[in-house]
Each structure stands twice: as C-alpha cells, then as structure tokens.
Amino acid sequence: MSTPTPGAPGPGATDAGTAGPGVADPGAPDLGATDAGTAGPNVTDLYRRAAEILPELADGAAERERERVLPHAQIRRIAAAGLFTFRIPREYGGAGSSAQELFRFLIDLATADSNIAQAVRSSFGRVESLLAGSEHEREKWYPRFLAGDVFGNAGWEVGGANGAVRSRITRHRDHFRVNGSKYYSTGALYADWIGAAALDDDGEKVFFTLPRDREGLRLVDDFDGVGQRLTASGTTDLHDVTVYPDEIIKPDGRAGRSPVTPFLQLYLAAVEAGIARNALADAVAFARERARPIAHSSAERSVDDPYVQLAVGEISARSYAAEAAVLRAAAAIDRAWESGLRPDLLTEASVEAAQAQFFAVESALKAAELLFDVGGGSAVARGHNLDRHWRNARTVANHNPRHWKAGVVGAYRLNGTEPPVNGLF
C-alpha cells in the first residue's frame, strides 16, 4: 500500500485536525534522523520495536486494571519508541506505512492492553488528520510526534444534544479566552498537548490545541466507566484559558466525507479485536494451568474436555474473524487514499469500517463471555480479573451503538443510501 500524499484533499474538518504551538523539546528522545527529507525508521523497524515493548505492556496489565494504576510510564515508552510515527510520510521522518500496516500493530497493542490502545487513539488520529490537512500543520506537528510527544483530546461535552459544544472562546485583546468543561477526554492525563473545540463569538465551532500546563486548564481523573478504566477519559475544565491566534484553526467549510472518520471508527474495532485475542490467551492459559474438569466429565484434564475445547475453539474463531475484518476495512481506507480520496471509495471505506466495527464488537463480547466456560467457580475470582475483557469490550462498544452501524450498512446495500457525514461514519 502506498503512503497517503501530503496535501491530498481532506473534505470535512475533524476534531483531531487542530493547530497549536510547536516548541522544540531539548530533552526529546533521539529516534534517528528526522529532518525533512531524511528517512527515519521504516515499518519493519517499528514492528521490531513493538515486539520488544508489547510484552512489557502486557505484563501486569490485568493487575494495573484491578488496582487502577494509570500506565503513564508504558505510554511514554510507546511514544519514545516512535510508535506514533507509523503513518507519518517518509519525507517527514516517519515510517510512511499503509493504514493496514498500522492496524496490524494497533490490534497487537490492544491485545497487550486495551486501555493503553484506546488512550493513545487521539495521537494516532492526529497523525491521520494531518495527512488530510495543510502543509503548515504538518510542518508544525509532525516534529512533535517524532520527538515523542503525546496528544490527548477534550472534545465531547455532557448535558446537551449529542455532539453539541457549549464551551465558548472569546476574543480578549490580542488573544482569546476559552471557558467550558469537557468529558470523555480520552488520554488527556497522559498527554503533552490537549486538543479541544469551542464556539466563537459568531457561534462557529473552532478547534485549538494547548499545552497541558497552560494556566486555567485542569485535568480531572474522574472517569467511572465499568471498563476501560485506565483510558483517563475524565473531565477537562477550561477556566479563562488563554488561546493564542496561531493555536486556532477553523473548519474550512468544504462539504464531503473525511478519510479520518472511518480511520477513527475502525480504531475502535481494532481495540475490540485486541480484546477478543486477549480473552483467547487468558482462556488457553486458564484451561491449561488452573481449570479442573467437572465431576462428570469424560476427561481427566480440562484441556481434554470436549466442551472446554469447543469454548476455546469458538473464542479463537471469533478473534480470528474480528482481526480479519479490521484488516480488510483498513485496506479500504488505503484504497481511498491511493485514489486521491475519491468520494465513492471514501463512502466504501466508511461502510467497511462500520461492518468491521459491528462484527468486532459482537466477537469481543462473545469471546469474553465464553472465557468463563473454560473454568468453574474459580474463574470468577476477582484476583484473576477475567471479567475485565467483557467490561472493556462493553465500554468500547457503547461509544457508537453497533445496531446503528448495521442499519446504515443495510440502507446502503439495499437502497444506495449514503452513510451520514458525521463523526460516526
């Protein structure tokens, strides 16, 4: 798959496509040559680095989730290794990967720790939005990723209509001030930069990116979901926060479908696929190491019990199919980029991402349920924390109800009805 062409038309602005100050950090990690026009690590290099880091992330993931230990160090490890740079083009110092190559890694990341995978979604989404953005924005922000910075998002609010923004940004002499409160600030507690949106004096939505230590910006660790508890998806308060003109970008107003949206939706499907694969690993380990056959079983060992074998086989099949669906949809995103973002291929990418998301959710939820069929009463012990797979899958699934995904796909297949042009498709 070819790398997206910088400057390719990017219809439809997204929350991830925001501007901000790019101040060099003398303490940033050395990831190799990253000057413009100089090649940095390639995809193989990044896969190799990931192979070294992911076992470290997986080790202790269940305990971190049980004890609610936020994975600050683990996320910094990902950033320092340059793993946010898969999709940054080679001429900017990135690996220039295809979407499919990145999604292979994202499934692996979610398998190791689905909390971490979702927490860094904003960073990968920002890279993707820059591919469809301006040259000025790429020159400003790609060096920050190459330096190991982490990006968070504070776009959503509660209390109003879905997607509505009530935060306000107003002019104050030569700068602006923003006031408001955000929720679902995924990954913000781990980030160096926070992207957000507010309504200006004309009632238009504008986007901006701020350093996390800007006065008046407060990050609160108050997310209380049943699952994905370490995604740091809590509250961001903005109280008279200064925003400078060069930190603001307004949507360009061009109508049409953005290639970033199916990417971000498929990202959630990749998290679900990783959860399913992680449930498979725990099912195999529990059956081999801890489970005992039921009293009237024909087997002397759980691994020889036909019903345990059936459960593990179904978990494996569902994990396999979810991963395959995600990678097939990622190929559709690649085709859209390679075509110069042809509208029909952008629509097909949105439909394929919706299909993959529907099936990945179903697979992860079922796999997490079947996991308990490989063991008896001991499988529900809190010490094993096996319920985290279902809780995590359920929490990710609730972001975008899967029945709406199926309904939109059905309308498209039956009547040629275009999916909505919004943040969900």
The per-residue DSSP string of 144-182 comes to HHHTT--EEEE---SSSSTT----EEEEETTEEEEEEEE
Q: Parse the chain into domains and list their residue ranges.
A: 43-150, 168-249, 260-415
CATH architecture of 168-249: Beta Barrel (2.40)
Q: Higher-confidence residue: 5 or 410?
A: 410
**Shortest CA distance to 124 belongs to which of 181, 65, 68, 186?**
186
Whole-model pTM: value is: 0.90
Q: How far apart are CA 389 and CA 227, in angstroms?
A: 8
Chain mean pLDDT for the chain: 89
Candidate from 8-12, 209-213, 266-270, 309-313 with smallest mean pLDDT: 8-12
Q: How far apart are CA 331 and CA 337, in angstroms?
A: 10
Residues 6+ apart with CB under 8 A from 408: 351, 354, 417, 419, 420, 425
Q: Higher-confidence residue: 206 or 3?
A: 206
Round to the nearest angstrom and report the end-to-end CA distance of the chain.
23
The domain 43-150 belongs to what CATH superfamily? Acyl-CoA dehydrogenase/oxidase, N-terminal domain (1.10.540.10)
The domain 260-415 belongs to what CATH superfamily? Butyryl-CoA Dehydrogenase, subunit A, domain 3 (1.20.140.10)
* pLDDT, tens only, 221-277: 999 999 999 999 999 999 999 999 999 986 655 668 999 999 999 999 999 999 999
Q: How far apart are CA 262 and CA 417, in angstroms?
A: 17
Number of C-beta neighbours around residue 380 at 10 A:
11
CA distances in angstroms from 84 to 78, 176, 179, 211, 340, listed in the order given? 8, 31, 30, 18, 24
Same fold flag, 43-150 and 260-415:
no
pLDDT at 299 over 80: no
pLDDT at 159 over 80: no
The dihedral built from the CA positions of residue 379, 385, 389 and 390, taken in this order, carries a sign that is: positive
Q: Looking at residues 191-210, what average pLDDT do you find? A: 94
pLDDT at position 271: 98
SS3 249: strand
Of the pLDDT bands very low, low, confident and very high (cuts 50, 70, 90), residue 38 is: low
* pLDDT, tens only, 49-75: 999 999 999 999 999 999 999 999 999
Of the pLDDT bands very low, low, confident and very high (cuts 50, 70, 90), residue 399 is: confident
pLDDT at position 259: 96
Label residue 179 exposed, middle or buried (CB < 10 Å: 0-12, 13-18, 19+).
Answer: middle
- pLDDT cut 70: percent of the chain above it: 88
pLDDT at 22 over 50: no
